[in-house]
A and B are shown apart, each in its own frame.
Chain A
């Protein structure tokens, strides 16, 4: 597949889109891990919800 004289423009477009999408996925996964870790730490230190259920139920 030949991309012609502007191959670098095409490749940078696709690579930048891939990089941004991967960054979004990574950010969401790291954020999820951070929030669930903080909730577990608080529960282990004795802070519980009024309902008595774990704050990470269904998370």
Chain B
């Protein structure tokens, strides 16, 4: 199946209806393995059992940036290729990205209090992630504020691409500035500095959360397609009603066009 064929919403619905149960099952399995490995992981010699927060914090922190990257690619699809599902993909991803970023902030605070002695510090990493969270909320508000979906799509796509400038700032903030947050210990030149006892559960949890995102994203995209069908049918119904009650018309068709 080509990308052009997949651009057809009806075909997308058919494909995802078959795919989603398998994806949901795989997500549950990988997350169950990851959670078991996290529970069985040894204590860190400095952090003790608090290191277990890492297995939930880091996947959410990665996803907070990954989801914005997905939305940026979808925004290019909206502005450049006018792909019918690009805006649907971006709009469906925003609440998920906001939720993962919220979790990264909350679990980071809960990890920071025992390790740093504070829940929050206005350093570059924490502040840039907070800005990312506020940008997610801003995008969601924009989609809700503009009634015409195509106008909202273009405005949101531009805002998403501008907001993507924040991603390298988040990633390299710990290198560019003196921050309380530690530098990268997994995705770095020279390889991870984590011991395998921590690295493997962390990677399994990261894969599990990424699968969770894809599962929820596909389901949310299906909902968005159905929402647009509802809107389209409502507009057709209103148009038919207006022509029915308008001067010089005789009856409205019950069968109207739709998406």
Report if A and B associate in a common complex.
yes
- Using CB atoms and an 8 Å cutoff, list the residues of chain A in contact with chain B: 1-7, 9-10, 12-14, 16-17, 20-21, 23-25, 27-28, 31-32, 35-36, 38-39, 42, 46-53, 55-59
Number of interface residues of B (CB under 8 A): 45
The distance in angstroms between the C-alpha atoms of A16 and B60, with both chains bound, is 12
User: A10-B52, A28-B220, A49-B259 in contact; A39/B229 too (CB < 8 A)?
Assistant: yes
Q: Which residue of A lies closest to B229 (CB)?
A: A55
B13→A14 contact, CB < 8 A: no
User: A24-B216, A28-B220 in contact; A59/B53 too (CB < 8 A)?
Assistant: no
B106→A16 contact, CB < 8 A: yes
A13→B256 contact, CB < 8 A: no
Q: Which residue of B lies closest to A12 (CB)?
A: B110
* Shortest distance from the beta carbon of B192 to any chain A beta carbon, whole Å: 22
What are 20 A-B pairs with beta-carbon distances under 8 A?
A7-B49, A9-B113, A13-B52, A13-B110, A14-B52, A24-B95, A24-B99, A28-B216, A32-B219, A32-B223, A35-B223, A39-B230, A39-B233, A47-B236, A48-B256, A49-B233, A49-B257, A57-B10, A58-B17, A59-B17
CB-defined contacts of B125 to chain A, threshold 8 Å? none
The distance in angstroms between the C-alpha atoms of A27 and B140, with both chains bound, is 15
B257→A28 contact, CB < 8 A: no
Provide the main secondary structure of the chain B interface. helix
New A-B pairs, 8, CB < 8 Å, besides A20-B102, A46-B254: A4-B43, A10-B50, A13-B106, A20-B103, A35-B223, A47-B254, A50-B258, A58-B10
A3→B49 contact, CB < 8 A: yes
Q: Which residue of A lies closest to B106 (CB)?
A: A16
CB-defined contacts of B106 to chain A, threshold 8 Å? 13, 16
CB-defined contacts of B212 to chain A, threshold 8 Å? 21
The distance in angstroms between the C-alpha atoms of A49 and B229, with both chains bound, is 9
CB-defined contacts of B216 to chain A, threshold 8 Å? 24-25, 28
